[in-house]
Structure 1
Amino acid sequence: MGEQEWYLEYEIHKNRPGLLGDISSLLGMLGINIITINGVDNERRGMLLIIDNDEKTNRLKSILESMDNITVTKFRKPKLRDRLAVRHGRYIERDADDKKTFRFIRDELGILVDFLAELYKVEGHKLIGVRGMPRVGKTESIVASSVCANKRWVFISSTLLRQTVRNMLADDEYDSDNVFIIDGAVSARNMNDKHWQLIREIMRLPAAKVVEHPDLFVQQTEYTLDDFDYIIELKSHRDEEITYEALKEDPTGFGNLE
């Protein structure tokens, strides 16, 4: 076994002075390197570790289980949510029943941008839906995350500056390294066959596709929510309800909505 990353998270029962120092000293004595450490909840701390053999891993597990002041809640190969939790000091909220749905509020745009950027960096097909009310920050987050991931973004339909409905792309825009952005409300209302032919071509590319208003998008198409790999919900506050009445009542006013 060579060097491998591990994610350690523990809950603190009694946060006495020197507890973190004791754990850091333990890791040092075992020859385990700490990459990053941060609080990830009110009484939890997360660490990204480098461990170079199974013996050290097993010894660490055994010693931590014997400590009275903490309870280990996670000890595993790090997932994307673990890395972001340590980086930002909080966990991304995930739907308990629908594991592909992740929830953010406007104050968490930095975490959202980081999350989307990491998804874009993974090669291959990804279909991401972004739900949210007008002017909550959907498009700016999608574009900002493309910049963070060093990806070129291509609007297939949009209302960012004015209503945009593309029927064709330039040859270099078909690059699978691009991020393709679709406003599902605009596309769903557009009955142009060439526009929909373009969307189907884009959907077949091994690339990241982001659809704003995915619920409206699937109402008028052959695609379903099951086709989406991730669903992002972005709200102004936790209790905000995402509705589509404003979009339905103003079929021509998309240029002022986002």
Structure 2
Amino acid sequence: MDRKEWYLEYEIQINRPGLLGDISSLLGMLSINIISINGVEDNKRGLLLLVKSEEQIARLESILQTMETIKVTKIREPKLRDKLAVRHGRYIQRDQDDKKTFRFVRDELGILVDFMAEIFKQEGHKLIGIRGMPRVGKTESIVAASVCANKKWLFVSSTLLKQTIRNQLIDDEYSEDNLFIIDGVVSSRRANEKHWQLIREIMRIPAAKVIEHPDIFVENSEYSLEDFDYIIELRDNPNQEITYEVIQKDPFFSEEGFGGFDY
């Protein structure tokens, strides 16, 4: 039987020397391998495990429940957030009401890039929206994540490097191995019907697409926020308000800001 990954997280109740060694020895006796381990929150530790059968996990859970020094908080097949928590030592902040919304601040760009790269590596259609004020690092993070995921990125509309709005792709750009980047404000303010027809074609490609300013995008299209698989919010600091009035007044999005780069 192929081995499967499992995620174990426990909260330390009595912190004493040798606790981790006891748990490691227990895993060894059950023939469960540790892939990685890290502290994930205050007094919590996460372990990514490799197991042969669910029977091993059942036996492990049964034994751990008898230990007074720890309290098991999670034992499950790992989610993306679990893997990143072990990798980076903390959980990505997630909206409690909208489970597909994840929040980052500027000093967490490394985690954000890693998070998006893992999404980009997944096969099939993935629609990701990213909210944030101008020049907070949205586009740069998307590009960096595409490099980590070994994906070629294509700007369908953008203000990075040059002001871009495209009405067509060439044949090899329709590949599902590409990452398509769309700026919702640029497309909404400058788009013609050919551009929107291109967006509809891209939406049908089983590939990853990232929409910057998704709220503006859905206000001016037939798409809705329900169509998005992930919504990412990026701020300079946790208290920063994302204000679309300010974004729409930004000179980068003005009519004069576009220098005839449509193609």
Q: TM tier, shorter chain?
A: over 0.9
Q: Which amino acid aligns with 1:27?
A: L
Distance apart, 1:162 and its partner CA: 2.0
Distance apart, 1:50 and its partner CA: 1.3
Deviation track 1:43-100 (CA, whole Å, cap 9, x = no partner) reads 1100011121343222211110011111000001111111111011111111101111
8 Å CA contact retained: 1:162, 1:255: no
The equivalences for 1:180-219 within 5 A come to 180-219=180-219
User: CA separation in 2, counterparts of 1:15 and 1:135?
Assistant: 44
User: CA separation in 1, counterparts of 2:165 and 2:137?
Assistant: 21
Q: How large is the RMSD of aligned CA atoms in angstroms?
A: 1.5
Instruction: Note the residue ranges of structure 2 that are not aligned, 5 or more in a row.
Output: 259-263
1:105 is matched with 105
1:9 is matched with 9
Aligned pair count reads: 256
With over 3 angstroms needed to count, the CA separation of the structure-2 counterparts of 1:53 and 1:200, relative to structure 1, is closer
Give the TM-score normalised by structure 2.
0.93
1:152 is matched with 152
Instruction: Note the residue ranges of structure 1 that are not aligned, 5 or more in a row.
Output: none
8 Å CA contact retained: 1:163, 1:254: no
User: CA separation in 2, counterparts of 1:30 and 1:243?
Assistant: 53
Give the TM-score normalised by structure 1.
0.95
Deviation track 1:166-217 (CA, whole Å, cap 9, x = no partner) reads 1111111111110000000000112411111111111111111100000111
With over 3 angstroms needed to count, the CA separation of the structure-2 counterparts of 1:93 and 1:255, relative to structure 1, is farther
8 Å CA contact retained: 1:160, 1:255: no
SS at match of 1:143: helix
Q: Which amino acid aligns with 1:85?
A: A
Is 1:252 the equivalent of 2:241? no
The equivalences for 1:74-223 within 5 A come to 74-223=74-223
Moved over 3 A (4+): 253-256
